[in-house]
Amino acid sequence: MSNLRIFAMNHKKISSLHINNMCSSKIRASLKRLRLHVLLGRNYSSLPGLIGNDIKSLHSIINPPIAKIRNIGIMAHIDAGKTTTTERILYYSGYTRSLGDVDDGDTVTDFMAQERERGITIQSAAVTFDWKGYRINLIDTPGHVDFTLEVERCLRVLDGAVAVFDASAGVEAQTLTVWRQADKHKIPRICFLNKMDKIGASFNYAVESIREKLKAKPLLLQLPIGEGKTFKGVVDVVSKEKLLWNPNSDDGKDFERKPLLEMSDPELLKEITEARNALIEQVADLDDEFADLVLGEFSENFDLLPAEKLQTAVHRVTLAQTAVPVLCGSALKNKGVQPLLDAITMYLPSPEERNYEFLERISRLLLPFADHHVEIPSLTAGNIALTVGLKHTATGDTIVSSKSSALAACRRAEREGEKKHRQNSEAERLLLAGVEIPEPVFFCTIEPPSMAKQPDLDHALKCLQREDPSLKVKLDPDSGQTILCGMGELHIEIIHDRIKREYGLETYLGPLQVAYRETILNSVRATDTLDRTLGDRRHLVTVELEAKSLETSSLLPVIEYAASVAEDLSQASREAIENGLHSACLQGPLLGFPIQDVAITLHSLVIHPGTSTTMISACVSRCLQKALKKADKQILEPLMNLEVTMTRDYLSPVLADLAQRRGNIQEIQTRQDNKVIIGFVPLAEIMGYSTVLRTLTSGSATFALELSNYQAMNPQDQSTLLSQRSGLS
């Protein structure tokens, strides 16, 4: 298994390409579902070997030439239509024989029970299919903000992505987040303006929002024929053909592609010729090779430029990420998806066009077909597969072939880390950015049905955490209870549900609470001495330190040493001090939340010879806790960016409600017939907001929330919170 595609390492540690680190129980559940699907007759096309596990026939489908492979993801704001688009893609490619529908809960990629019930995507699903001689590995990613980590972990393995937009809304809050993530991972993209059939859909509006909000250069490869109810098809700007879908066809397979003619479509032809000329000029501006070609041979008449030449140049520009091709359609009404598939093969890169290093050895490989998995003997570079049974890896890791290569990679990462400021370093080319794990903002206690089941709960949580590092599990030092920390209400609810369904454990959740932070407002000094004799060894440390508030925001304390202390401090003592200071900052003096934005200076430190590093840590930690207790303290609360979209009739009640929630409105935008409120609101005030908003607007409004920063609570709110908590304890 020599050529499995593996990414070297991330900047901090050795980690592995790891598409889906499933626990074996989940695999078993998936296989059970596969049998159920077959029995119950969800209509999968007869992919050779898929159902029968015929390895030989699978072999021919798993090793296409690398130039013909496309590893792509679909990303978007929640509800833009990713899953519906994916379903159409699978249907037209022949992977499924019937059209799935999110609203009916029978799609291929939303296979988790919760996904089907809620009609949203939570876990990424990978499916492999062929389109016109190309192998496409497609990953459907979730749109809900609680699951952004899941999106990131997919982006790391993609060579290209399709960004799906709701054409009536243009760029929405979550689109910006995933777009930035794709920028970070340098992923070439094409845009699909979906929902062109929807009332209020506007191609120009959506394109403008791509230009303005994403600061991207859209290349209009298609123009729509009609919008909203009149949407019938698209015009291919590159080939000057119109594509019309037969209104009587119920699955969109029947459409005709006709060249635009002067005789029958004079107006449209004129419009498209202008659009094509503008496109050619735009691409020539971005690509020197194409500029030379156009200016040389075709400067007199762009009409003579063959479509393939323009397509090749658009491919290069897309790969260079200097512009993004834009297409449009309506997945729900089965229009525009086949040309999108053509565009994926034509404009997005193959793995060999992206600079990765490949090497690895793994014992078991599985090819994913959404929730079906087929064991395969080998895989060539550029493909995506699953591996199971790895006990010590977690999402975001990169697997390397031996300990020595791991150490070499580590050393190299460290060296590169030191010269990070240099542009285009070798590591930049080789490495994938690590997964950034967002800080959880909510927590609650979780209890097993009986004490005897605690080990089962611990096991389930351990497995779930390996799949989803944005889930944190802690032990409350006072009560001994297990605490779940997550990204949002929905995130914790889903985890609770999965423990029940996948591990057969009925657990009880305590009330959901906001994860606050603490800080100090002034400068304080403290001294401490630890003197203990264990056996015949005396441990003696005396420390004097100062803690003060930092102007800038920093999760970890900034640690400084007075010159006299730094002088003869060994590396081991320095590490012990830093461990002690970090651990003291995990529990603030007010409510036990982590301390942030502090600087700590060690003014003096005396260590008796023979004192263990554990004792140094303990003394420094206790001294800092003493200092923090003396300081003027402040609670910091998570402040969320909020975007609410509603029809104009509901603007006043929504605004009035937000005013009561300490909302700070920044802007009210008009988008088509809708009003969009953009502002900030403290997380504590927005719990359960989806239910309230549904009631206020008869279910017509949508909202997106994202952590903005932590802000100081005002004195009244802080004292209310403190008295509530002391009342509880």
Ligand X SMILES: Nc1nc2c(ncn2[C@@H]2O[C@H](COP(=O)(O)OP(=O)(O)OP(=O)(O)O)[C@@H](O)[C@H]2O)c(=O)[nH]1
**Position 79, amino acid:** D
What is the smallest separation between the CB atom of 90 and ligand X, expressed in angstroms?
A: 13
Contact pattern from residue 111 through residue 140 relative to ligand X, giving x for each residue in contact according to CB under 6 A and a dash for the rest: --------xxx-------------------
Q: Is 140 annotated as a binding residue?
A: yes
Cα–Cα distance, 556 to 582 (Å, whole number): 7
Token pair 């050529």 is at which residue?
3
Q: Is 309 annotated as a binding residue?
A: no
- Asked if 350 touches ligand X (CB under 6 A), the answer is no
- Asked if 78 touches ligand X (CB under 6 A), the answer is yes
Q: Is 65 annotated as a binding residue?
A: no
Nearest C-alpha neighbor of 144 from the set 596, 506, 488, 610: 488
- Choosing from 49, 142, 218, 396, the residue that interacts with ligand X (CB under 6 A) is 142
Cα–Cα distance, 322 to 134 (Å, whole number): 25
- Asked if 431 touches ligand X (CB under 6 A), the answer is no
Beta carbon nearer to ligand X, 79 or 159: 79
Contact pattern from residue 292 through residue 331 relative to ligand X, giving x for each residue in contact according to CB under 6 A and a dash for the rest: --------------------------------------xx
- Asked if 84 touches ligand X (CB under 6 A), the answer is yes
What is the smallest separation between the CB atom of 387 and ligand X, expressed in angstroms?
A: 26
- Asked if 23 touches ligand X (CB under 6 A), the answer is no
What is the SS3 assignment for 671?
strand
Q: Token pair of 434, please? A: 């690590």
Q: Is 397 annotated as a binding residue?
A: no
Beta carbon nearer to ligand X, 365 or 704: 704
Beta carbon nearer to ligand X, 15 or 702: 702
Q: Is 81 annotated as a binding residue?
A: yes
- Choosing from 49, 100, 143, 488, the residue that interacts with ligand X (CB under 6 A) is 143
Start-to-end Cα distance in the chain: 57
Beta carbon nearer to ligand X, 549 or 690: 690
What is the SS3 assignment for 404?
helix
What is the SS3 assignment for 190?
strand
- Asked if 8 touches ligand X (CB under 6 A), the answer is no
Q: Is 318 annotated as a binding residue?
A: no
- Asked if 103 touches ligand X (CB under 6 A), the answer is yes
Residue nearest to ligand X (CB): 143
- Asked if 73 touches ligand X (CB under 6 A), the answer is no
Torsional sign, CA 495, 497, 503, 506: positive
- Asked if 491 touches ligand X (CB under 6 A), the answer is no
What is the smallest separation between the CB atom of 109 and ligand X, expressed in angstroms?
A: 8
Q: Is 346 annotated as a binding residue?
A: no
Q: Is 394 annotated as a binding residue?
A: no
3-state helix, strand, coil in the chain (%, to 5): 40, 25, 35
Q: Is 533 annotated as a binding residue?
A: no
Which residues within the stretch 178-237 sit at the binding site for ligand X (CB under 6 A)? Answer: 194-195, 197-198
Q: Is 420 annotated as a binding residue?
A: no
Residue 334 phi/psi, 5-degree rounding, is 60, 40
- Choosing from 5, 17, 75, 79, the residue that interacts with ligand X (CB under 6 A) is 79
Nearest C-alpha neighbor of 168 from the set 79, 234, 82: 79
Please state, as a whole number, how many other Cβ atoms lie within 10 Å of the Cβ of residue 323.
19
- Asked if 76 touches ligand X (CB under 6 A), the answer is yes
Q: Where are the extended beta strands (E) located within 497-582?
A: 508-509, 513-514, 517-520, 524-534, 537-549, 558-561
Stretch that binds ligand X, among 58-66, 75-83, 576-584, 683-691 (CB under 6 A): 75-83
- Asked if 100 touches ligand X (CB under 6 A), the answer is no
Return the bridge partners of 409, or none.
none
Q: Is 112 annotated as a binding residue?
A: no
- Asked if 409 touches ligand X (CB under 6 A), the answer is no
Q: Give the chain's largest Cα–Cα span.
A: 104
Cα–Cα distance, 394 to 362 (Å, whole number): 15
What is the smallest separation between the CB atom of 561 and ligand X, expressed in angstroms?
A: 49
Contact between residue 142 and residue 122 where contact means Cβ atoms under 8 Å apart? yes
Torsional sign, CA 100, 101, 106, 109: positive
Got the DSSP string for 111-135? -SHHHHHHTS--S-EEEEEEETTEE
Q: Total residues contacting ligand X (rule CB under 6 A)? A: 24
Return the bridge partners of 534, or none.
537
Q: Is 80 annotated as a binding residue?
A: yes
Contact between residue 82 and residue 121 where contact means Cβ atoms under 8 Å apart? yes
Beta carbon nearer to ligand X, 78 or 545: 78
Residues belonging to the binding site for GTP are 76-83, 140-144, 194-197
Q: Interface residues with ligand X (CB under 6 A)? A: 76, 78-84, 102-103, 119-121, 142-144, 194-195, 197-198, 330-333
Residues belonging to the binding site are 76-83, 140-144, 194-197
